[in-house]
Chain A
């Protein structure tokens, strides 16, 4: 058993947490929800920074908390990245990194050098934290958490305190973590973009409870979620770069439902590409017709759901093995007689490349 089994109940004045979760022991799991939804508290309970009065936590078969025992944070094999970098101000970057390494027992699975290299901070080692930019600080704090060779990496909105530019600076490093290390990550976020870009699994929380949990694409495509990833519902598809069109500066990515042309952003042939298609950018047609929309796929209507406004409908369309969401007006649904089982052309106006 390699996963994480977590059960916690907390009943504080004005806040309660009641979760019972089974999480995969690999990949990035995003804990997504508004502030106050309990996602940070859940993460802190897993880290042992908060103690739920009643709870059970098993990670890869080891009990960290049950009715008999409660392992304090410093004895849990975790790495934790806080929202603010929280570097030790009295220590240099190198001493910050070494602080945890010195205290770890057992053979390291991530070496200090590897952590420094992964986060690209080797030129900062002699500096004091006060002389780093916000983005550099957060990279050091991520490296510091990695250097203790955690069996579980917990990240509490590591990008939330940074501006857009710094976020863009750090995201590629987070993707490298994801691709190059075998460490399962729990990633708390309220940013739809980060979740869509980084997560393999998604846990949606609201009011201290789990609203939905599952693989990212499946969970995003659910029609009954009270919380969507931001204002816009949408689907995420993992595809492969199959062709590059130098003349038109386009790249073709293939997935089980067909091919999509996207802007060429220097992707390597054969590499993995994650794309996001928002429901508002998808329309359905009986005939493909002549249109400026270049990405047209064949799909079958799977289900219809409400979309928060009485005039709108969210339509789930199965394209190959993937699911796309389309936001249509009720009138359009009636006019085209859209119902589950109906085969239609799916026109995709815009595809965003996520990685």
Chain B
């Protein structure tokens, strides 16, 4: 069976991924909305920045975040000034890093969903007396619902799967930053292959189920039109 520290690592992983998904729903939605509708030349650079975590080695992203959140970094100085202290090697440091790391997995599906909704339903809503904010929540969000589901599942799953960024920012503190992927690494380092197998199997099954959910959902999203 899974050891207590395995379960602790799994629970920490789920908490981290859940919080990151919620934060990204709030942060990623306006970014995706803006990217889906803007016509300024800014769209290109911002899209590139959002997509960076897809191609950057996690250690590179982790390194820059570590520097930024450290005592000499801009973010670090702000958090110290606010009395929060330094974020690296804390759970919330991990959350902040994961938000950056998983950003494209929230923004890109949402952007695609908003683009598919198009301008017309919002124009219709406007001619039916709905303010832009009203129309966003009562028309754009419901019509983009399949995109929200896909984006949330992908963000959650991707955060569960992160490793490099965690090591750079969070280290390996039991109950604080030791997530499942790091725990497996520890097991292997310690030559506890049986323990590694068990936890790895949990991750494998989880990932498969998540992807199955995403692909099973997709055909549904087509019906709306």
State whether A73 touches B127 (Cβ < 8 A).
Answer: yes
Contact indicator B143/A89 (Cβ below 8 Å): yes
A-B Cβ contacts below 8 A, count: 65
Chain B contact residues, majority secondary structure: helix
- A127-152: CB near B (< 8 Å → 1, else 0) gives 00010000000000000110010000
What is the bound-complex CA distance between A74 and B128, given in angstroms?
7
8 Å CB interface, A70-109 against B: 72-75, 78-80, 82, 84, 86, 88-90, 99-100, 103-104
A:167-196 near B, CB below 8 Å: none
CA distance A90 to B223 in the complex (A): 10
A73 and B126: CB pair below 8 A? yes
Task: Tell me the count of chain A residues lying within 8 A, CB to CB, of chain B.
Answer: 24
B138 partner residues in chain A, CB cutoff 8 A? 99
Q: Which residues of A contact B142 (CB under 8 A)?
A: 90
| Residue interface mask B112-150, A partner, CB < 8 A = 1 | 000000001101111111111011001100110100000
Q: How far is the CA of A73 from the CA of B120 in the complex (A)?
A: 13
CA gap between A145 and B126 in the complex, in Å: 11
Q: Which residues of the partner chain A approach B45 to less than 8 Å between Cβ atoms?
A: none
Contacts of A80 in B (CB 8 A): 123-124, 127
**A45 is an interface residue with CB less than 8 A from chain B:** no
Does A159 interact with chain B (Cβ within 8 Å)? no
Contacting residue for A148 out of B129, B132, B143, CB 8 A: B129
* Tier of interface size on chain B: 20 to 34
Question: Are the C-beta atoms of A88 and B120 separated by less than 8 Å?
Answer: no
User: B219 interface residue, CB < 8 Å from A?
Assistant: no
10 A-B residue contacts at CB 8 Å?
A: A74-B126, A74-B127, A74-B131, A74-B134, A82-B123, A82-B124, A84-B120, A88-B125, A88-B139, A90-B145
> Which residues of chain A have a CB within 8 Å of any CB of chain B?
47-49, 72-75, 78-80, 82, 84, 86, 88-90, 99-100, 103-104, 130, 144-145, 148
Given contacts A74-B126, A82-B123, 20 further A-B contacts (CB under 8 A): A73-B123, A73-B126, A73-B127, A74-B125, A74-B128, A74-B129, A74-B131, A74-B132, A74-B135, A79-B127, A82-B124, A86-B121, A86-B124, A88-B121, A99-B130, A99-B138, A100-B128, A100-B129, A130-B223, A148-B128
